[in-house]
Amino acid sequence: MAHEISDGGFTLSDDAGRFDLARAHRWIGQESYWAAGIPLDTFAKACANSLVVGGYAADGAMAAMARVVTDRATFGWICDVFVDEAFRGQGLGKRLMAYLRGHPDLQGFRRLHLATRDAHGLYAQFGFVPLTKVESWMEIRVRDPYAS
């Protein structure tokens, strides 16, 4: 069953059937700094294997999105947070983060992560702090697979 709330003229929902994949792909694939050029099939697979959330305007159009990679038990990584330019400045990003922080499938985690280049102030309002124990983290970093 979908988790849905209405707040400030917007509806926030994790109903995958309502999620506008084509619009989300345009935002992430064409307007984001973190995944520009991501192929639609790759993005669709990422969304299908994640908790996707849409923020919908009164007319039903998707105005914002977020994706959470999670096991729904111990860990989550919030990514692909995006608010359409036409809806920025209306508090939708804050509403989206409040929705995620209260989402029943995202409670009781040992860790909830995200990465940002430019929205530290927004995320700090919801309890995010700089990564701790960075000496414990490792990664495999490959060249940008979407770069041409």
| Confidence tier at 148 by pLDDT (50, 70, 90) | low
- Does the structure show a pLDDT above 70 at 92? yes
- Percent of the chain predicted with pLDDT > 70: 99
Domain 4-136 in CATH: superfamily? Gcn5-related N-acetyltransferase (GNAT) (3.40.630.30)
Contact 37, 119 (CB under 8 A): no
Which of 9-18, 39-48, 90-99, 136-145 is predicted least confidently? Answer: 136-145
Question: Does pTM top 0.95 for this prediction?
Answer: no
pLDDT in tens, 130-141: 999 999 999 998
Sheet holding 51-56, edge to edge: 4-7, 10-13, 51-56, 62-70, 75-83, 111-114
pLDDT in tens, 99-129: 999 999 999 999 999 999 999 999 999 999 9
- Does the structure show a pLDDT above 80 at 146? no
How is the chain split into domains, by residue range?
Answer: 4-136
